Amino acid sequence: MLKIGETSTQILGLAWWKWISIALILFSLTAGMILDVPKLPILHETIRNLYYHVTQWFGMMIILTASLVYSIIHLSKGDRRSDIIASEGVNVALFMGVLGLLTGMLWAKNTWGTYWTGDAKLNGVAMGMLVYLAYTVLRGSMDEEQKRGRVSAVYNIFAYVMFMVFIMVLPRMTDSLHPGNGGNPGFGGYDLNSNMRLVFYPAIIGWTLLGVWFINIRVRMKSIEENRLSKSHQ
């Protein structure tokens, strides 16, 4: 049996951290639209996308890192639970990656004038998507549980490192339109006034918690599926 989150204190039928996730995301959605933002050339009001695009990506990276940690745990302990958490982590991270991609494309359209450019950072993202889609294909191609766990954990660790090289190291070496790369200042360089930080950090926590919530549900679905399967075999 897989057990996750069943011990946390519940408020009105929901675990306390799920309420925090809802509250923080609602807060970032409303406050992100209402509060004052710095007036900058080209960006203008689109700077509000910082609250959505960047935070979704931060959430995705945090979840991918968690998935990596669970893959390492799986390799050292060989338990089923960490394997399932790692794989569902990748699924949820892919979903959040698509969200971040869509919001990023909208932003690019309004500031760079096009939805997609051959920018180093954007290519890195496309490559990351391919790697993690390959991960899901790899999992699907194996039936035996033990082997699937080990092989996909190995690929997950390898993929994570290459992904990091691609989006952290390479864009800094070339010209890039993306903030924080190719000699451009990151958004920390523009004075994010305290208003923006007030929304930015809570939004990251909110999206990450939402991702954890998704993983939680999917892991429980998997465990129910497996229980039914083992019952039907008896």
Pick from 10, 141, 193, 227: which binds other proteins (CB under 8 A)?
141
Name the DSSP letter for residue 51.
G
Judged by beta carbon, residue 153 or residue 192, the one nearer other proteins is 153
Pick from 165, 175, 224, 228: which binds other proteins (CB under 8 A)?
165
Cβ atoms 84, 222 nearer than 8 A:
yes
Count of other CB atoms within 10 angstroms of residue 138: 16
Judged by beta carbon, residue 10 or residue 141, the one nearer other proteins is 141
Is position 142 an interface residue for other proteins (rule: CB under 8 A)?
yes
CA distance 234 to 231: 5
Is position 153 an interface residue for other proteins (rule: CB under 8 A)?
yes
Neighbour-count burial of 163, counting CB atoms closer than 10 A to its CB (0-12 exposed, 13-18 middle, 19+ buried) = buried
Window 69-108: residues binding other proteins (CB under 8 A): 75
Window 167-196: residues binding other proteins (CB under 8 A): 169-170, 173-174
How many residues bind other proteins (CB under 8 A)? The answer is: 29
Angle at 59 between CA 56 and CA 64, to 5 degrees: 125
Cβ atoms 199, 49 nearer than 8 A:
no
Helices 80-111 and 120-140 cross at an angle (nearest 10°) of 150
Judged by beta carbon, residue 44 or residue 77, the one nearer other proteins is 77
Binding-site ranges for other proteins (CB under 8 A): 75, 123-124, 127-128, 130-131, 134, 137-138, 141-142, 147, 150-151, 153-155, 157-159, 161-162, 165-166, 169-170, 173-174
